[in-house]
């Protein structure tokens, strides 16, 4: 699959859109082509590759990603890692070749970090707000979005402003393990565009709705 893998890997990784400084697991790494490509393009914090074929793993360990990735022999149906060990679990041109695919996918899911829902997110969507106002018997309903951009001195200023004690997201972050919080902060920082002297300009959107009581 070598030539096909090299052609597919950059497109696949761009489509995944994973944040920089993420920890990756490459399931069915073969000779290490996906690992090699993501090291080159994605600035990962760490890369682990597993494959059931010892010869493939040996080739990957000698390849271009050898100094940035770790490779080992392992079966996709019984992966030798603890729960929630990785930010991204990827498998390129491999799943169709795995026996007991549902079992393998369950293993991959087990290793990915859970992303808890943010309270109120669904209720704040324009469609949900409109349905709520209609149910209340209101008329002349109008909606709009309000976009606001703010400037922060640096990432610390940004992070502290986004995580006050009363925020639901702050409570979720507080429940994470220290290593998970560190990974999250690195991922957020990597996703933010940094300006001069490390300053950050960040834009957010609020959904607004108004209506009238029927006469």
- Assess whether 157 and 87 both reside in one domain: no
| Cross-strand partners of 204 | 148
Q: Which of 46-60, 103-117, 196-210 has the highest mean pLDDT?
A: 46-60
Which of 84, 111, 138 delimits the end of a domain?
Answer: 111
Tally of domains in the chain: 2
Query: Is 47 among the domain residues?
Result: yes
Q: Is 30 part of a structural domain of the chain?
A: yes
Q: Report the C-alpha gap between 64 and 68 in whole angstroms.
A: 9
pLDDT tier at 112 (50, 70, 90 boundaries)? confident
- pLDDT given at position 115: 67
Do 6 and 90 belong to one domain?
A: yes
Write the pLDDT tens digit of every residue in 174-184: 888 887 788 78
Looking at 80, 111, 142, which one is the last position of a domain? 111
Same domain membership, residue 144 and residue 102 = no
Whether residues 96 and 18 fall in one domain: yes
Please tell me whether residues 7 and 107 are part of one structural domain. yes
Contact indicator for 80, 107 with CB cutoff of 8 Å: no
Contact between 198 and 148 under an 8 Å Cβ cutoff? The reply is no
Whether the pLDDT of residue 83 is over 80: the answer is yes
Shared domain check, 27 and 93: yes
Question: pLDDT at position 2, please?
Answer: 67
Look up residue 142 and give its two tokens: 């109008």
End-to-end Cα spacing for the chain: 70
Residues 18-45 have pLDDT tens digits of 878 889 999 999 999 999 999 999 999 9
Tell me if 155 sits within 8 A of 192, measured CB to CB: yes
Residue 173 located in a structural domain: yes
DSSP per residue over the chain, as a string? -HHHHHHHHHHHHHHH-PPTT-EEEEET-TTTHHHHHHHHHS--SEEEEEES-HHHHHHHHHSTTTTT-EEEE-BTTB--S-TT-BSEEE-SS-GGG-SSHHHHHHHHHHHBPP-PPPTTTGGGSHHHHHHHHHHTT-EEEEEEEEEEEEEESSHHHHHHHH--TT-HHHHHHHTS-HHHHHHHHHHHHHHSPB-GGG-EEEEEEEEEEEEE---
Same domain, residue pair 102 and 163: no
Whether 96 has a pLDDT exceeding 70, the answer reads: yes
**Domain stops at, among 90, 111, 132:** 111
Q: What CATH number does residue 67 fall under?
A: 3.40.50.150
Residue 117 is assigned to a structural domain of this protein: no
- Average of per-residue pLDDT across 166-172: 85
How does residue 47 score in pLDDT terms, banded at 50, 70 and 90?
very high
Tell whether the model's pLDDT for residue 154 goes beyond 90: yes
Look up the domain containing 130 and give its range.
122-212
Position 94 confidence tier, pLDDT thresholds 50, 70, 90: very high
User: Both 167 and 93 in a single domain?
Assistant: no
Q: Could you tell me if residue 116 is inside a domain?
A: no
Note whether 103 and 169 are same-domain residues.
Answer: no
- The answer to whether residues 77 and 14 belong to one domain is yes
Q: What is the pLDDT of residue 184?
A: 83
- On whether both 127 and 186 belong to a single domain, the answer is yes
Answer yes or no: is 175 within a domain: yes
Q: What is the mean pLDDT of the chain?
A: 90
């Amino acid at each position: 699959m070598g030539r096909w893998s090299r052609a597919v890997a950059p497109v696949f990784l761009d489509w995944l859109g994973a944040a920089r400084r993420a920890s990756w697991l490459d399931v069915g790494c073969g000779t290490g082509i996906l690992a090699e490509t993501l090291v080159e393009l994605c600035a990962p914090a760490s890369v682990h590759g597993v494959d059931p074929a010892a010869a493939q793993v040996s080739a990957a360990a000698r390849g271009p990603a050898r100094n940035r990735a770790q490779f080992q022999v392992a079966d996709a149906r019984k992966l030798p890692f603890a729960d929630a060990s990785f930010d991204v679990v990827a498998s390129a041109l491999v799943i169709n070749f795995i026996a007991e695919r549902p079992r393998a996918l369950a293993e991959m899911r087990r290793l990915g970090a859970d992303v808890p829902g943010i309270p109120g997110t669904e209720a704040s969507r324009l469609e949900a707000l409109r349905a709520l106002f209609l149910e209340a018997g209101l008329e002349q309903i109008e909606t709009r979005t309000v976009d606001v951009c703010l400037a922060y001195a640096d990432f610390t200023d940004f992070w502290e402003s986004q995580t006050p004690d009363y925020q639901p997201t702050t409570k979720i972050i507080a429940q994470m393990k220290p290593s998970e919080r560190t990974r999250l902060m690195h991922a957020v920082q990597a996703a933010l565009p940094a300006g001069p002297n490390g300053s950050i300009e960040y834009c957010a959107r609020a959904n607004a709705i108004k209506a009238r009581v029927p006469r």
